[in-house]
Amino acid sequence: MADTSKSKTTKKVTKKVFKNIAEGRLYINSTFNNTLVSVTDDKGNVLTWASSGSMGFKGARKSTPYAATTAIEKTLEEAKKHGIKKLAVFLKGPGVGRDAALRFLRTKRDFDVEMISDITPVPHNGPRPPKQRHV
């Protein structure tokens, strides 16, 4: 007789652990094409993140203020589950998502914003200029 019993393979299910953290940092990287939002703890470990692209926006709609607002809203909803009450906000980049982020944080009263900082890298001297043109 042939052995007809099938071997079962079990799938390992990872349980999402929600930490209880009071203070966090909100990083908003806004480029011309996308807006990346992440919430970290004080050490810099990412707790939750979202982007305009991960919210389902594609192409030119990804760089709109509405797409940035939806990404920020989803990230802050997830951050609430970790127990975050205070936020330090760090804005980076020239995109339209930074203004939408500030407008959204002003209307949202769930978090205590203790600091807003712009960490956009600015060159002190910049690259070497091109050679003089000979005509």
Identify the CATH number of the domain in which residue 94 sits: 3.30.420.80
Structure tokens at 91: 């804005």
Cα distance between residue 10 and residue 88, in whole Å: 42
101 phi and psi angles, rounded to 5 deg: -65, -45
- Tell me if 48 sits within 8 A of 75, measured CB to CB: yes
Residue 9 resides in a domain: no
Residue 42 resides in a domain: yes
115 phi and psi angles, rounded to 5 deg: -155, 140
Residue 17 has pLDDT above 80, yes or no: no
Residue 46 has pLDDT above 90, yes or no: yes
Residue 49 resides in a domain: yes
- What's the mean pLDDT in 123-133? 90
What pLDDT shows up at residue 130?
A: 92
Lowest mean pLDDT among 4-18, 20-34, 65-79: 4-18
Cα distance between residue 49 and residue 84, in whole Å: 14
Structural domain containing residue 76: 26-118
39 phi and psi angles, rounded to 5 deg: -115, 125
Residue 93 resides in a domain: yes
- What's the mean pLDDT in 3-25? 77
Q: How many domains does the chain have?
A: 1
In the chain, pLDDT over 70 holds for what percent of residues? Answer: 95
What CA–CA distances, in Å, run from 23 to 17, 42, 81? 17, 7, 13
Name every residue whose Cβ is closer than 8 Å to that of residue 39 and which is 6 or more positions away in sequence: 24, 25, 26, 27, 46, 47, 48, 49, 75, 76, 78, 79, 82, 84, 87
What pLDDT shows up at residue 6?
A: 66
pTM: 0.81
Residue 7 resides in a domain: no
Residue 7 has pLDDT above 70, yes or no: no
